[in-house]
């Protein structure tokens, strides 16, 4: 593809994307593709000769598109959102064209410095104290792993990095039973061990013992967006010298609203904090904002300086390769910068506030319907509910009914919801947060959910 072909194909794709967003509501939200359907249409070998872009793009439309689940649909209410925006898409397009690998300051000075500037702006926007210092990671999984490793190293005086685990592995990590699976994964990867991760009920006392290292407070759990009591946990962590990591992957974006900052009351006790602009801040996946208080501990955990990476800046610069796991890094700050400026802080607030209000509206309307139960508090934009087809029915039957209801709703193509368990109850999660979601989409969802549940229970 030469430059003039690129222009032609690029314009075509921009128009295609515009059409896609214009017509996104016409697609089934969750793909109706069956396992093996896409791969059966793909050849076993790559072609020997170059193919025309028209042909490749035709296959994209014919083979790939029917297998796409439309995360950007305004009726995508599953999991957490991974919302998007046009300025973010254009920022990512520029980053991918420049193709800069941002491992060191020298390999892209503007990328390193824009990242520093944007992360400072972001910390201010969400009300983080100035003692925090930020870096963009890919996902909260990675950010939380960075926190676990920094804690491990700081409390072992960096001896595990050098010597490996010695005869004593005294570490324990804590989080609530509703905290995200990435915490278990991080504790496993770091060699601490899943069985040393203690799950604590949110209603119990946090009576921690010395020799512990790592606690994770969830601001907005994945199941029901519960908010752990940060100040109370923070005081205990401070007393015993425990690394406190705050996982606000989804809920962090809501901190753009001053009235939501109560959620991080006590954040000054935290050692690290993560939230994902790629979830609810209109910045397309991936973009995870990781903030730490002790920058030196982070860098000391990850820095490497082989000869071939030495550069000659005389003054201090940030070489972000030493702030995380990967050496290679994309220029992610550009899309985030485009988003912050294109929306403005007031614009971000307006949409986030609308999403929260829509969730409250949804909960209110649904709870007024016979048979529907709201299963957890809903301080943000996620509502957990279930339908009880009749009184006196067993727990197993209620769960089975709701699993069937979810399956039926999702296979309708009209909307996409996910589920979790709260206590022993199977609950359906309505997560509102797509960029284009308006009241009419929530109303349509309500209507579909109510009609489907009632017709199934007849």
Using CB under 8 A as the binding rule, the residues of this chain from 298 to 337 that contact a second copy are 302, 304-310, 312-317, 325-328, 330, 334, 337
Q: Is the CB of 293 or the CB of 321 nearer to a second copy?
A: 321
Q: Is the CB of 148 or the CB of 269 nearer to a second copy?
A: 148
Q: Is the CB of 269 or the CB of 290 nearer to a second copy?
A: 290
Question: Per CB under 8 A, which region of 91-99, 210-218, 355-363, 387-395 contacts a second copy?
Answer: 91-99
Smallest separation (angstroms) from a second copy to the CB of 412:
15
Smallest separation (angstroms) from a second copy to the CB of 247:
12
Burial code (b: 16+ CB inside 10 Å, e: under 16) for 254-275 equals: bbbbeebeebbebbebbbbbbb
Residue from 340, 375, 405, 432 that binds a second copy (CB under 8 A)? 340
Smallest separation (angstroms) from a second copy to the CB of 8:
9
Size of the site for a second copy (CB under 8 A): 160
In whole angstroms, what is the distance from residue 420 CA to residue 423 CA?
A: 10
Contact between residue 30 and residue 64 where contact means Cβ atoms under 8 Å apart: no
In whole angstroms, what is the distance from residue 397 CA to residue 401 CA?
A: 6
Smallest separation (angstroms) from a second copy to the CB of 335:
8
Residue from 28, 74, 83, 445 that binds a second copy (CB under 8 A)? 83
Q: What residues numbered 156-215 form the site for a second copy, per CB under 8 A?
A: 160-169, 171, 180-182, 184-185, 188-196
User: DSSP states of 184-222 as a string?
Assistant: HHHHHHTTS-GGGEEEE-TTS-----TT--EEEEEBS-T
Q: What residues numbered 2-31 form the site for a second copy, per CB under 8 A?
A: 2-7, 9-11, 13-15, 17-18, 20-22, 30-31
Pairing verdict, β 214-218 and 173-176: parallel
Residue with the two structure tokens 């946990």: 233
Nearest C-alpha neighbor of 147 from the set 272, 248, 323: 272
Q: Is the CB of 240 or the CB of 285 nearer to a second copy?
A: 285
Q: What residues numbered 398-457 form the site for a second copy, per CB under 8 A?
A: 407, 418-421, 429
Residue from 347, 371, 389, 413 that binds a second copy (CB under 8 A)? 347
Contact between residue 255 and residue 230 where contact means Cβ atoms under 8 Å apart: no
Residue from 25, 100, 353, 361 that binds a second copy (CB under 8 A)? 100
Smallest separation (angstroms) from a second copy to the CB of 136:
13
Cα 162-168-174 angle, rounded to 5 deg: 95
Residue from 25, 68, 294, 299 that binds a second copy (CB under 8 A)? 68
Smallest separation (angstroms) from a second copy to the CB of 105:
7
Is 296 a binder of a second copy (CB under 8 A)? no
Smallest separation (angstroms) from a second copy to the CB of 444:
21
Residue from 202, 232, 261, 286 that binds a second copy (CB under 8 A)? 286
Q: What residues numbered 364-393 form the site for a second copy, per CB under 8 A?
A: none
Is 360 a binder of a second copy (CB under 8 A)? no
User: DSSP states of 21-76 as a string?
Assistant: HHTGGGS-SS--PPTTTTGGGS-SS--SS---HHHHHHHIIIIIGGG---TTSTTE
Q: Residue 175 half-sphere exposure, CB side, CA atoms within 13 Å?
A: 31
Question: Per CB under 8 A, which region of 83-91, 204-212, 372-380, 448-456 contacts a second copy?
Answer: 83-91
Q: Is the CB of 234 or the CB of 301 nearer to a second copy?
A: 301
What order of strands is seen across the sheet that includes strand 214-218?
A: 133-137, 288-292, 272-275, 243-247, 214-218, 173-176, 197-200
Q: Is the CB of 269 or the CB of 291 nearer to a second copy?
A: 291
Q: What residues numbered 215-274 form the site for a second copy, per CB under 8 A?
A: 222-223
Smallest separation (angstroms) from a second copy to the CB of 212:
13
In whole angstroms, what is the distance from residue 38 CA to residue 367 CA?
A: 40
In whole angstroms, what is the distance from residue 322 CA to residue 250 CA?
A: 26
Enter the tokens of residue 437: 């979601």
DSSP alpha helices (H): ranges in 318-394?
333-367
Prior bond to 286 cis, omega within 30?
Answer: yes
């Amino acid at each position: 593809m030469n430059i003039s072909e690129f222009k032609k194909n690029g314009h075509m794709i921009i128009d295609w994307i515009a059409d896609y967003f214009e017509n996104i509501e016409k697609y089934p939200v969750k793909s109706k593709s069956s396992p093996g359907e896409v791969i059966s249409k793909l050849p076993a070998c790559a072609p020997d000769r170059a193919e025309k872009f028209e042909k490749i793009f035709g296959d994209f439309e014919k083979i790939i598109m029917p297998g796409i689940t439309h995360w950007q649909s305004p009726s995508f209410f599953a999991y957490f959102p991974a919302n998007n925006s046009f300025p973010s898409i254009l920022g990512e397009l520029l980053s991918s064209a420049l193709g800069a690998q941002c491992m060191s300051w020298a390999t892209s000075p503007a990328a390193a410095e824009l990242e520093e500037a944007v992360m400072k702006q972001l910390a201010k926007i969400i009300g983080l104290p100035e003692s925090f210092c930020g870096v963009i990671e890919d996902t909260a999984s990675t950010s939380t792993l960075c926190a676990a490793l920094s804690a491990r190293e700081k409390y072992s005086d960096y001896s595990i990095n050098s010597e490996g685990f010695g005869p004593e592995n005294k570490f324990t990590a804590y989080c609530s039973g509703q905290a995200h699976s990435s915490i278990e994964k991080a504790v496993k990867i770091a060699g601490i061990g899943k069985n040393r991760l203690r799950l604590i009920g949110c209603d119990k006392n946090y009576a921690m013992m010395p020799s512990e290292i790592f606690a994770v407070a969830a601001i907005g759990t994945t199941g029901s967006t519960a908010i752990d009591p940060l100040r109370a946990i923070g005081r205990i962590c401070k007393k015993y010298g425990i690394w406190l990591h705050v996982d606000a992957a989804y809920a962090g974006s809501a901190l753009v609203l001053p009235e939501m900052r109560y959620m991080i009351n006590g954040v000054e006790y935290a050692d690290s904090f993560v939230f994902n602009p790629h979830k609810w801040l209109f910045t397309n996946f991936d973009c995870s904002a990781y903030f730490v208080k002790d920058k030196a501990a982070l860098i000391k955990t990850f820095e490497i300086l082989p000869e071939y990476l030495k550069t000659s800046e005389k003054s201090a610069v940030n070489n972000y390769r030493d702030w995380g796991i990967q050496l290679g890094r994309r220029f992610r700050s550009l899309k985030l910068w485009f988003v912050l400026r294109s929306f403005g802080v007031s614009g971000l607030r307006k949409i986030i506030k609308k999403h929260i209000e829509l969730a409250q509206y949804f909960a209110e309307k649904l709870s007024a319907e016979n048979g529907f139960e709201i299963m957890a508090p809903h301080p943000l934009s996620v509502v957990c509910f279930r339908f009880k087809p009749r009184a006196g029915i067993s727990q197993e039957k209620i769960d089975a009914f709701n699993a069937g209801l979810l399956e039926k709703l999702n296979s309708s193509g009209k909307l996409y919801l996910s589920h979790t368990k709260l206590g022993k109850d199977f609950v359906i999660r309505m997560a509102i947060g797509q960029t284009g979601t308006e009241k009419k989409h929530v109303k349509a969802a309500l209507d579909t959910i109510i009609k489907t549940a009632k017709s199934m229970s007849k």
